[in-house]
Copies of this chain bind each other. A is one copy, B any other.
């Protein structure tokens, strides 16, 4: 999985039936800096703007009950609380320091 920050939403009407609630995510590098790479992903865990999340891509995005048949290739699978690198904590949800 990759680490990403929720930075927006994508709305589309003429979409395949059942594709809804997609988030715009910006990938974060392993030192906590934002990258220019992004992903548009389905989101069942209701992540909010600025929250850091884990994104699964490929077939993993469809391994959720009720999503097996959706034409999606990315999904928010978890909201991150802490990332601990060796000892110092890189990110904590409460304080949002980086």
Contacts and interface: CB of A to CB of B under 8 A. Distances in A.
B54 A61 contact: no
Interface string A60-98: 111110000111111101111111111000100000000
B75 A2 contact: no
Task: Please state the number of chain copies in the assembly.
Answer: 5
A72 B7 contact: no
A38 B45 contact: no
A56 to B, nearest CB: 5
A69 to B, nearest CB: 6
Of A46, A63, A81, most B-chain CB atoms within 10 Å: A63
Contacts of A10: 3, 54, 80, 82-84
